[in-house]
Every structure is written in structure tokens, then in C-alpha cells.
Amino acid sequence: MCGIIGYIGNRQATPILIGGLRKLEYRGYDSAGVSVWNETEGNSRVVRCRGKLAGLEEKLKAEPAVGTVGIGHTRWATHGRPSDQNSHPHKAGPISVIHNGIIENHLALRQELAGAGAKFSSETDTEIFAHLVEHALIAGAPDLTTAVRRSLQKVRGSFAFVVMSDKEPGTLVAAKNSSPLVIGLGDGENYVASDVTAILAETRKVIFIDEGEMVTVTRSGVAITDFEGNPKTREPKMITWSSVQAEKGGFKHYMLKEIHEQPRAVADTLVGRVDLENDDVSLDGLELDVANIKRIIFIACGTSYHASMVGEFLVEAMARIPVEVDLASEFRYRDPILGPGDLVVAVSQSGETLDTMEAIREAKKKGAKVLAISNVLESSIPRLADYAFYTHAGPEIGVASTKAFTTQLVAMALLAIHLGRRTGKLTKERARELLADLVALPSKMRDVVEGSAQIQAIARRYGAANGCLFLGRGAQYPIALEGALKLKEISYIHAEGYAAGEMKHGPIALIDEHLPVVVIAPRGPSYEKTISNLAEVRARQGKIIAIATRGDNDIGGHSDDVIIVPDTALELSPILTVLPLQLLSYYVADFKGTDIDQPRNLAKSVTVE
């Protein structure tokens, strides 16, 4: 998730841009830059660099950006590694652009523009938009707003753009599709930003821009239209949040904000990878030697390990390739037997987990190829691997992983479909059904996370429990483990995840009227058996919280509480069933008043043994 800010007024822009970007630092970024219109020189100067804002400020001492109109950006790399050249703003002729999001058809546009003579200086999708706007002006667009509008017709994907032109320095033009965009209103000066936090020090009077809208900002005013140019009106709002609250988007904790960001994160992880025309999946052009993959071994830690366990179900179900899953900390010391035909898949949100890194080294030493699935472009683990495939969850601030996990599950589904279509074990028709369910997930996820009031009430009822058992079968067993990990991590309540079929082999001794038992029981082949596990628990006065599929009118008779999730393909249901467990752990922890975003003893990335 990149940070965006624009200013147009009568004060020096650079200090305002840098101040705003500093407020966005918490989101994580790998490079930063500004473009400021210089009245004397008659053009805008772009100053940008890889690394932190301090480095940019150093560079600005040597190359000052003087002027009262400018745009600034902190980049979280998605396309194109972190580097000076890939930093924003990007310039093409008189046009400067900053961007948050992913241009899905960037490759096709790049080819089209190169064919028209455009020369590119970066690997980014963003630079393409600068060339599009420049070409629209050359082709006769009468002003910047029209040039941006015409360029938007060509672009597919998620974006928030802010555009500036040396030929029209009294104007900033911004446009929104999926990525956040807000306008700040001042007296003879106005602001554009990706987040209220960036401009709260300057103004509390804001206008939130909606999907499919663009806005022309001058010193004297703001004009909003849709992408076709039809005017839109919007009443300004007064922000009452503190700046700390604003950083969390008005949520109480980053973790809650990130739970609610999951529909967007999943949608972003799907962008450019789902090929509905051919009922196939592209792994960003990655071509694995599928015919010669005899076995896949997932290695990971913690939540990423649970994602890998779900991956095992998905890959074996769809591609019929044998899969093993190993804790990275175990794999690296068990002298694993590896050979040609083994593909090791290392899963890591941070891309910096030492156990996983060392496990990769062990795998490579034994001649295996390694695919990394990570959320941080160019982090150590993808750089160490032979191949890399990224989730696009954006920076995850909360120590307890949520949106990284669900986007990892999406990445597993994409990998499994990609492999299954190439081993021939996944039919075109089944792939089509799965892809349709995949792209429908974000709206179904939104249904669940927005229904959190019921979960909050359940959490309040069990907040004082001394323990909790999570049960699931099949691909829901890793979800039971993940639910237990979430509760442990942030509420410090002891919790265990168990394969439901294991109940009678021991854990049933734990059951009494004081123990809440969360049972994940979506419709599917193991539903009846899971219901019988519920009956075992109920017969011993255990308190049951069931996670069930919409339309299930039976499970209520076996449960004290039922949390419903929408129906979807069985293989994808873990992406929905985990959501209530994240919310349950969050609200229990909130009830207990623990430090949810930074729980005791935990680090966001475990870079030590």
C-alpha cells in the first residue's frame, strides 16, 4: 500500500509533502520521492530515491525542490524491485505521476506505448500512466483533466493516481478506482492524499473520493466528476479523529483494520492472475517445469505454516502432485531426503524469517528448486529462492497475521489451479468454477467481516475463559490451528487446534461446561462426522461455537452459537471460515485489554533462531 500526497497553494510544497509522507511511514515502504513545480525554471523537478524519507531529505538538501505545487509518494513495491528508478513520481515529458495500486494491463499498454515511440526508464506499471497522459496531450487533449480522463479509459486494475503537468502548473488531477483517495480543503490551498493521516496536520475538512471518480484540484477549488466527465457533488466532512486514530483508519487497532482490509488484499492478489478466457491462472509469467515436479514440500513457520497445510489440500486435490508440509525449524535439522523432481515452496509474509531462510539453504544444498511465496517484494527469502510469487496484502502492521494469511491461501489456490491445468488433473470446467468462486471471494469476505457485531457479543461471553479448543476436519484442521494461534497470540488464553477426528483420542478429556469449543463445520464431505463431534462435546456440557455455511439450518440444534459464512467452493472455504476466528480472537483480546497490535514476547518478523 503506497502513500500519496499532493499540495497546491501558496506555501512551499516540499515541507508539506515530506511532513505528510512521514505520517504515512507506519505503513511500510521501500522508496520515496517528490515532484515540485518550479516557477522560475518553468518545469517540475523530481527528487526520489530508494530507502527511507531521511535519505530523500538528504537528497533534497543537494537538489532542493522549490515551488508551491507538488506531489509526493512512498512506495511499497509490487511491480519492479525497490530502486531509485522505480521510485515515484514517474515523469514522461511534462507529466509527473504518483500511483497506489496495480495496473492490470500494464504489459499490453507498455508494448503499445513503446510501439508509439515511448521510452521507459523504470520497470513499474505506474510509469505507463505518465506516458499515456503525455500522449493524450500530444494527441490534442485540451487540458490535463481531459488527458487524464482519456488515459483512464485505457487502464484496468486498482489505482489512485495524482497527476501534475508542467504545462498546467495550477492544477492537480487525481483519480480513484479501489485504492483510497481523499481531498483536503484549505484556504487558497488544497491537498490530495491516500490517507487522512497525511493531511490532518494541515486540515480536518476533507472530501472522500468514491470509486470511479476523478477530481481536478486548483488553489481555489475542487471539481469532481466520474470517469466519463459527469459532474458529481460531495459534501465535505470534518475529521474528528486524532492522528493516531487516523493511522488506523478509524479502527481501534491495526489488526482490526487489517482484518477489514482482507477483501481488498485478496482482490489485489488476484489482479492480473486470473485468466477467465482460458480458465487458467498466470503466476506473473512464472513457468515452473511442471512435468518434472514429482513432489512439493512446503516449508514455513507459524501462520504461514497453517497456510501451507491448506496448500497441501489444494495442490493434491487439483494437481494430484504429492505434497508434504514441514515446519521450517524442523526441516532444516532433519537432514531431509530431497532429489530431482522436488519443488520446495517457502512461505513467508515478511520474507525475513530466519528458520525459513535456513531451511531454503538446506534445500538448495540438496539440489532442490525453491519457490518463495512472500508479501514483501525483494525481501531476503524471495531473493534466496529460484522463483518468487507475491501476495499483494500490502504492509501488515499488526503482529498477528490476518490479511497476509488469507492472501497466502489465495496464492495457494492460484498455484494449485495453475499446476492442475498443467498436469491435466484439473479440467477446464472445474477450473472455470473455481476461478469464478475465487473472484467472488472479496465480496463474500466483506459480508463476514461486516457482520462482526454477533462475534463481538460471543467474544464478550467467553472472554473470561481459561482455555479454548478449536476443531476442524480436512482443510479446516489448519484453520482450527490458525484460530487457536490467533487467540493465544493476542489474548494470552491457552488455546489448542485439533483435528476433530482426534477428539476421542484424548482432547475430549478437556471438555466441561467451562470450555468453549469452536467447531468449523462448513457443508462438505466431513460435515456429518463433524456434527457427531459436536454431539460428543455437547454431551459433556461443552460450550459450542459453530462456524457454518449459510443455509445450514441443522447445526444450530447442536450449538450454543452459530456464526455463518457464505457458501463457496469447498477448496476455498478456509478463506472464509478463518475470518470469524480472527474476529473472535480480536474481540476476546480487546475485552481483556491486551496489547493487540504488539502482543507481549512477539515480533512481527522472527529473524533470530
What are 139's three cell numbers? 494527441
Determine, following the binding rule CB under 6 A, whether residue 594 of this chain makes contact with ligand AGP: no
Give the x-and-dash track for 439-478 against ligand AGP (CB under 6 A): ----------------------------------------
- In terms of CB distance, is 53 or 301 closer to ligand AGP? 301
Distance between CA atoms of 216 and 122, rounded to whole angstroms?
Answer: 27
Angstrom distance (rounded) from CA 231 to CA 218: 16
Phi/psi of residue 200, nearest 5 degrees: -60, -30
Interaction residues for ligand AGP, span 347-376 (CB under 6 A): 348-350, 353, 356
Give the x/- contact pattern for ligand AGP in 546-585, rule: CB under 6 A.
----------------------------------------
Of 2, 301, 403, 486, the active-site residue reads: 2
Give the orientation angle of helix 573-592 with respect to helix 452-462, to 10 degrees: 50
Active site residue 428: no
Min separation Cβ 284 and ligand AGP, Å: 20
Stretch that binds ligand AGP, among 150-158, 229-237, 279-287, 300-308 (CB under 6 A): 300-308
Q: What type of residue is 570?
A: L
For ligand AGP, the closer CB: 122 or 304: 304
**Which residues make Cβ contacts (< 8 Å) with residue 144, sequence separation at least 6?**
133, 137, 163, 165, 167, 168, 171, 173, 216
Q: Which of residues 102-161 bind ligand AGP (CB under 6 A)?
A: none
Query: Which grid coordinates are listed for 4?
Result: 500519496
Q: CA-CA distances (angstroms) from residue 316 to 262, 310, 312, 325?
A: 26, 10, 6, 12
Closest C-alpha among 424, 421, 458 to residue 583 = 458
In the bound state with ligand AGP, the residue whose beta carbon lies nearer, of 43 and 598, is 598
Bridge partners of 333, per DSSP, are none
Nearest to 20 by CA among 121, 162, 158, 159: 162
Which C-beta is closer to ligand AGP: that of 18 or that of 415?
A: 415
Helical ranges in 320-427 per DSSP H: 328-331, 354-365, 380-384, 403-423
Q: Which member of 14, 216, 303, 380 binds ligand AGP (CB under 6 A)?
A: 303
* Catalytic residue, candidates 154, 167, 364, 604: 604
Residue nearer to ligand AGP on the CB measure, 76 or 191: 76
Element (H, E) at 299: strand 295-300
> With CB under 6 A as the contact rule, which of the stretches 209-217, 220-228, 346-354, 411-419 interacts with ligand AGP?
346-354
Looking at the Cβ atoms of 177 and 349, the one nearer to ligand AGP is 349
Phi-psi group of 226: left, alpha or beta (phi > 0 → left; psi -120 to 50 → alpha; rest → beta): beta
User: In sequence order, what are the beta bridge partners of 184?
Assistant: 191, 206
Stretch that binds ligand AGP, among 81-89, 253-261, 295-303, 469-477 (CB under 6 A): 295-303
How many residues form the binding site for ligand AGP (CB under 6 A)? 15
**Active-site residue flag, 604:** yes
**Residue closer to ligand AGP, measured from CB, 363 or 400:** 400
Residue 203 in the binding site for ligand AGP (CB under 6 A): no
Closest by Cα among 21, 30, 25 to 162? 21
**Rounded CA separation 395/81 (Å):** 16
165 touches ligand AGP (CB under 6 A) = no
Query: Is residue 585 within 8 Å of 487, Cβ to Cβ?
Result: yes
Residue 214 Cβ vs ligand AGP, minimum distance, rounded to whole Å: 37
Neighbours of 112 (CB within 10 A): 16
Minimum distance from residue 353 beta carbon to ligand AGP (Å): 3
Among positions 396-435, residues that touch ligand AGP (CB under 6 A) are 399-401
Q: Which is nearer to ligand AGP, 302 or 507 (CB)?
A: 302
In the complex, least distance from residue 608 CB atom to ligand AGP, rounded to whole angstroms: 11
Residue 487, interface with ligand AGP (CB under 6 A)? no
- Residues 305-324, one symbol each (x = binds ligand AGP by CB under 6 A, - = not), give --------------------
262 is a site residue for ligand AGP (CB under 6 A) = no
Closer CB to ligand AGP, residue 33 or residue 351?
Answer: 351
Taken in order 455, 197, 160, 86, is the CA torsion positive or negative?
Answer: negative
Q: Which of 315, 350, 574, 316 is nearest to 328 (CA)?
A: 350
Query: Residue 486 has which C-alpha cell?
Result: 490467533
Grid cell listed for 194:
491516500
Binding flags for ligand AGP, 508-547, as an x/- string (CB under 6 A): ----------------------------------------
**Nearest to ligand AGP by Cβ — which residue?**
302
Tell me the closest approach of the beta carbon of residue 169 to ligand AGP, in angstroms: 44
Output Rg (C-alpha) for the chain, integer angstroms. Answer: 25
CB of 405 to ligand AGP, least distance (A): 7
Q: Cell numbers of 501, please? A: 477426528
- The minimum distance between CB 563 and ligand AGP, in angstroms, equals 21
Among 158, 304, 380, 582, binds ligand AGP (CB under 6 A): 304
- Exposure letters 200-226 (e unless 16+ CB within 10 A, then b): bebbbbbbebeeebbbbbebeebebbe
CA distances from 353 to 373, 381, 415 (A): 13, 8, 22
CB nearer to ligand AGP: pick between 49 and 606: 606
Strands 323-327 and 295-300: parallel
The total of other beta-carbon atoms located within 10 Å of residue 502's CB is 14
Asked if 301 is part of the footprint of ligand AGP (rule: CB under 6 A), the reply reads: yes
At closest approach, how far in Å is the CB of 293 from ligand AGP? 23
Chain residues that interact with ligand AGP, rule: CB under 6 A: 301-304, 348-350, 353, 356, 399-401, 489, 605-606
**Residues catalogued as catalytic:** 2, 604
